Structure 1
Amino acid sequence: MLVAFDCFEGEPRLHLTKRSSHLRHHPGQIAFPGGKVDPQDDGPVGAALREAREEIGLPSGNVEILGTLDPHETVTSFLVTPVLARIHTPFEITPEAGEVAEAFTVPLSHVSNPTKFRVESRRWRGARRSYFVAPYGPYYIWGATARILRALADRMAQ
């Protein structure tokens, strides 16, 4: 998954997607562009770049890879490696209709501020699960996406 931000409108902004409601895994949820590593990918970085190109139209040559964050396991047993990147120049955001209902940006200041997060819980598969949320306008950022962003916020606060 690609945790990518730009600095085109003064304040840095993070690129996120709203997943299509008909997807099998995590339908309608807010997510980073990303997906599984395919055999032709050069590991998690290659997969993140390919998926960002496919899902939001981000040209691979338009990013500077800053590094990776610690892998995160989702409650649905996916192990994801967040790839942190800076987007060099504006590009035409083109959501992939089959996977992405919407592509949008959030101020980096919102998701890098630990005070913007809160913990909520709900029952899932017979157990109460707690998770981070960081709502922004009409977007309910939660679960693995919010957990990754909270880890990034904690790291930036150090």
Structure 2
Amino acid sequence: MSSKQIVELNVNGIPHQLLVEPRKTLADVLRDDLGLTGTKLGCEHGVCGACTVLVDGRAIRACLMFAVQAQGPEITTVEGLASDGELDHIQKAFAENHGLQCGYCTPGMLMTAHAFLAENPEPTREQICEGMNGNLCRCTGYQNIIKSTAAAAKAAK
């Protein structure tokens, strides 16, 4: 007898039907079952932000959400940001302003920046610091992440 159940997820505009255990996290399904490894697993407690994805445009920690809870809404991962091979304006801003170093936290930073800028398109530096504070980076010192987020806001105008 299998305890798995069918889960229907809409990820990056593509519908998927998967057979998963009810306690499997969205992060694990994205990485292991769908091969979308841009979603990183860091702390697996929702603290570091490396696993951040968008669920109907809201930044959520994929390590804290079960895949069965993600049925229905549109899920966007970092792989879904680029369109026709062209980076979106936030990805470009991070690349142009050195908002990454080792890159491990970058997907979560990009997804958080997307959700933040969607709600606050003309942020101050202080608002950017507050809006991005839930994502941890061990390499950059955050200055270029803040600069990149500000540049992305300007590019969106």
Q: How does the TM-score come out when normalised to structure 1?
A: 0.29
Which protein has the larger Cα radius of gyration, Structure 1 or Structure 2? 2
